[in-house]
Chains A and B, each alone.
Chain A
Amino acid sequence: MMHSVSKRILVGSCFLAAAVNLVHAQSTTPGGMPPPPGMSLANSTAMRFPQPVRVGDLLGREVLRPVESQDILGRVRGLVRDRDGRIMVVVDFGGFLGIGARPIAVPVDAMVLLGQDMEIVAFTPDQLRHFPTFSPSGTTDVADDTIIKVGLAKPSH
């Protein structure tokens, strides 16, 4: 009895009081937010509670756009270190169902883990389209058993 009545009063009053705010509480803080303007990618990853993950476990993961429709941007092909030692994720980007995709190198700090998938949070699809096609010269592969740290995000909707 308490259960239903108090619940109804609570629910009723909170919707009446602040319909838009409370009702959309879920969507006011979507996941996969881009880093604040001016902040370095490394610093924004540091704010996303980077977690250890085995490089081999990232291979083949779907790379999504952080939006409700979870558009597929591509798939993780491999991880490399560039000339400056930064870890880059080589993503088979674009195309349709993998056909017509081309590899691009995205800084791992521009990406986050979302469960079994990854998301690119620091670049829009339009920016990614202008990324040069990845060329392995001057880079070194990161071994599958290497543990790196990648930031987190919550689902976007």
Chain B
Amino acid sequence: MRSPFRPDIVPDTAILDNHKPLIRSLERRGVIRGSLSLGALVLLTGCDVKRPEAVESALLAISRLNDGVQALLFNPNRLAPTYPASMILRPPKFNAYYDVMDVKPVDGATWRLEVSGRVADKRPWTLQDLRAMPQTSMVIKHICVEGWSYIGGWSGPTLRIFLERIGADLSAKYVAFKTADDYPSSIDMATALHPQTLLAIQYGGDTLADPFGYPVRLRMATKLGYKNPKWITAIEVTNTYPGGYWEEKGFPWFAGL
């Protein structure tokens, strides 16, 4: 099956190879320029500063360095604190890049989960298939980049078991997600294999409700809320950086806790 992630016209990858030195020097310059602009720009606080391009790319360059630092800080064996089931907030807190009234429920009966990229078995999955897998439950803190948090209880197969089942290349760099609400997202393989990373199909022991991502959403105890796509429709294992909805607007990609 063709990957649902690929554009119809694929760019010639030779472009990248031909310009490697240039790209690298641009990146380095970005960081240096960042340090300088940091100083210059702060003097403008208070004025209505839209980000000048140089400042923006400098900040993004530092943000990418931070992604690397965050990956180094991530301990794949470290478990996030868990809580008793009595502390679960029912219902959970809703958030999306649009208002709740614009949620488009997904029909679980006809829903299929497409699988693509560096995997052996690309057969699509049904909700029944996911329910038939070994289930893991966790009561963990959901921490939003905005600053709020709540305790939620999630169940479903771990993403690790799912990836093993589809014969995914576990040495690949990224696992990418597509969703019914056009909220592409992606995570690093180390986090994908973490024992507290679930394809959640239940909340607090009940089937996931529509506004929280029915039939399946990602729940990771080790990443900020916006890294957890809801209403997932496709999963791809890839070595090509897939980006994500908020990441393309400026939020950091790694976003580890």
Contact = CB atoms under 8 A, between A and B. Distances in A.
Interface of A: 1-8, 10-12, 14-15, 19, 22-23, 25-26, 29-31, 33, 47-49, 51-54, 57, 113-116, 151-155, 157
Contacts of B150: 115-116
B50 A2 contact: no
A7 B249 contact: no
Contact of A31 (B92, B99, B210): B99
Chain B residues touching A, range:
35 or more
A11 B60 contact: yes
5 contacts: A7-B64, A23-B249, A33-B101, A152-B94, A154-B95
Contacts of B129: none
A58 to B, nearest CB: 11
Contacts, number: 104
Contacts of A11: 56, 60, 248-250
B143 to A, nearest CB: 12
Given A49-B103, A153-B99, 9 more contacts: A3-B64, A4-B60, A11-B60, A33-B99, A48-B101, A52-B91, A113-B91, A154-B94, A155-B146
Contacts of A152: 91, 94, 100, 211
Contacts of A10: 243, 248
- 3 shortest interchain CB distances as A-B pairs: A115-B93, A3-B241, A51-B91
B61 interface: yes
User: Considering residues B92, B97, B249, which has the most beta carbons from chain A within 10 angstroms of its beta carbon?
Assistant: B249
A4 B27 contact: yes
Contact of A29 (B51, B98, B209): B98
Contacts of A4: 27, 60-61, 64
B209 A115 contact: no
